[in-house]
Amino acid sequence: MPQVDLQELKREYLEYLEIERNRSPLTVRNYDHYLEIFLDWSKAEKPGDITAACVRSFRLYLNRREDENGRKLKKITQDYYIIAIRGFLKFLAKRDIETLSSEKIELGKVKDRQVEFLEIDEVERLLQAAHGGKSENLRDTAILEILFSTGLRVSELVNLDIDKVNLKTGEFSVRGKGDKLRMVFLSTSAKIALNDYLLRRKDLSPALFVSLKETGDPSRLSARTMERIVKKYAVAAGIVKKITPHTLRHSFATDLLRNGADLRSVQEMLGHSSITTTQIYTHVTDKHLKEIHNKFHSNKE
């Protein structure tokens, strides 16, 4: 059987991810990027060129690689390359193409993720910092309230349209990673903040959150702009932690678990495909339980 060019096989693999695995366009682009760098570095032309020694040398290259500022690749980023290579090798095996077994490639041990989140008093300070009568204050308060109330990813929030949010019921569906649909819910304060903001809107843009231009049609806010908004009020509130929209997602999950929500429910509300991802929050709540035990248990000696 004639050997098939690796670039052609890569193209077929990316199509497989898109059609049969239903991966998002962003995931497909990322896999394309990781595999292209690997194939370019390795100079591999056929499946048999991908050997254990080749992959091991590539991992060493990734681990020692530095950008122009001398910064190395994060371990989790290095793992993304290896995950893409393993997936490609599994695909080749399904096609009965002889190459390195994906099982011979192990992911490096990664340190437990450190979850940065806000205590409830910090959330209240953050929200208070955004309060005010200007249109900008109303919009930004609504953004902060929704992030904490729903646990939305910033990418999910920026893509929301007004007609997708049911203010009457305080719930709506959102399509997240992997094209997965889930329900999210607005707290009473989030509903009030969003309603106040929308009553102030006079434009015809379908986007839920827009720039506040004095002339011309407003544009949909970008993820970067929302990150700047969150940072602005974190500084104003005197919060020294590094705060991003994702910090409010972590705070949402932590708050639910601390107040007795079960892990499976939190998994659904966050839109995690695997409960393993949600389990990053358990060490946070375990620490909280230890504090409660130390504070209230009779035998304190």
Report the catalytic residues.
153, 177, 246, 249, 272, 281
Rounded Cα–Cα distance for residues 203 and 200 (Å): 9
Asked whether 123 and 73 are in contact (CB, 8 A), the reply is no
Rounded Cα–Cα distance for residues 154 and 249 (Å): 9
